[in-house]
Structure 1
Amino acid sequence: MENRKLAFVGLEADTTSACLSMLKIMNGRSSVEWMQAEPDEADVLMLANDDSDTSRQWQNSDKPCIVIYHNNESKPSAAYTLSHPFRVMQLISVLEDVSRTLEDASPDESSLKPISAQTQAATPHRPSGQTDFSESLYQAVTSKNAQELYQSDSPKGSLFVSPSAGAYFIQEPLFNEVRHKTAALTALKPAKDADLSAYIRRPITELAWMTAQLSSTLPAWLPKDGSYRLKRWPNVRSAKTDRAYLSMSALMTKQPCRREQLAAHAGCAQQQVDRFLSACAMSNLLVCEAASAAPSTRAATPDEPRRIGSFIQGLRHRLGLSS
């Protein structure tokens, strides 16, 4: 049985107590056992639906967050939500969704191979020295040598990328150019010793997102006929507020999708889909499966319906609901 750690942030005492009671009922009856932990050590966070600094800090982290909101409040635009008060089956459902996301966030090596293999087949040969910044950023964040520090230069200065820290370092003049899409950046290369004390530290996902907006088509290093899925929900403001990005993110965390399917599902232009895929790839969130694979939901095993039925029957008996 797999163990997962869950932390509660900003919730009222009665809500936390109810959740812990439900977890005791669930544990031993499902494939994942949930334990309470401190936020820093937890795999998943349950947050109060407020605008406190603490909530914003954790929502901007890489940990999946379940936002708890009262039933008289508007539903927040978060990947995972629960309306309070909630039943044990609702908690089970959302925790199963989060658990699948966590499993996809650490895929085995074989699941990551198709993206590089397809890219080599679909990408025309580039002369030496013609790798652009977006491709070099993608190569840096997906490289096995994640401890490396990389550098890109421009007339306004240099920026540095540290995949292991999940951050890039930049000074304000160059940041303003990058933000306004006017920067001319060279491809990343390994950096020698650098003093970063005068640089601002910012998340790599932000750099990937801004870089993706510079392109009007899918980059050549991503296959046009691939089926794409997300390892986890993108953690950038635009992906949390834009309806098309929310729609694509929700679908791609559940199943692999082709580009044209995403455009139809989200009701947006193909250009927006391509920029989204590019940003997710440069954030190391994207997995490309075999081009021939049709989008499908997770297939149930032959024993799964029987196992779920036994679990629900036992749960009803435990709660005193059985006749």
Structure 2
Amino acid sequence: MKNQRLGFVGLGDDTASACLSMLKIMDGRSEVSWSHSDPDSADVLMISCDQTDETQRWARSDKPRIVVYDSNQKKPASPFVLQHPFRVMQLLSVLDEVAGTLALEGPSVPQPHSPSQGVVSSSTVSNSVSPFWLSLHEVVNGSVSNPAGLLVSSSPHGLLYFKPASQRFYASKALFRQLAAASVELGPLTPTTEVVSDEMVACPLFSLCWMVSRYSATHLAPWMNPEGAFHLKRWPSFGTLEKSRTHLSLCALMTKRPLTREQVQQVSHCSEEELDRFINACEMSDLMVFEEAVQVSLPQASAEEGKGRFGGLIKGLRSRLGLSA
């Protein structure tokens, strides 16, 4: 994997901070790993279109520049531009274009290979998430220009539509069966003017998240704090969870009070992968609340206490039935 350095010129702290957060989410999503650097050491510059002494000085640099402009400003005449505010997929797209230009200019200095780095496809299990999961995260968190509109994701098995307003997906029965049975390569959600056909069936947000997370979100999503505490607002659909004993146990535990992943695993004996998949699906469906980790002792009833309670129950029943001595 190639490493490239990105520097900011004339951008506000909020924009730079948001961009750095996006870079963290994007890590592993392309053949280039981007890191933050000062403008002097950077390979690529993200520069404001505002005319200041600083931006004019760096405008004469021979480094590739991504010009950032606000929606109320005229689009700059530059090879690489980015309208603010921008989303993760838009940033990823323009950075890939710049990376392609750098590759054509000449080979970069070889970087030591790290076992944790590599090109990750959307179907590969990793700490990254698929383009579909990433775009869905942006949509459900309000990063969509028209919530009442329709979005579409393409796949080898057909089209998958999503209505943010109703939080429902629409597709053919065949595609939903394929999603439930095996991994399906889903593209990112994009706006469309198409109309959902009458032959398509609806699927709730959580149900779709649960099917897709089995393959494309089996590790905790990078925008969640792995050291935090997780608390369910309410239980997901019983039908979706297939009445699994493990999943029902997770619902019961995480509804009572906030628990860390380690605490949940300690009590439920659930695998880390299964727990992260459960948290991912619940978070995407707005069923999960995140809180600061709280160290609490977990109640663990002993076998003798269990026998005592059960014996008391039997004794009470015998007394009511007139069978006690």
TM-score (norm 2): 0.49
CA radius of gyration, larger in: 2
TM-score (norm 1): 0.49
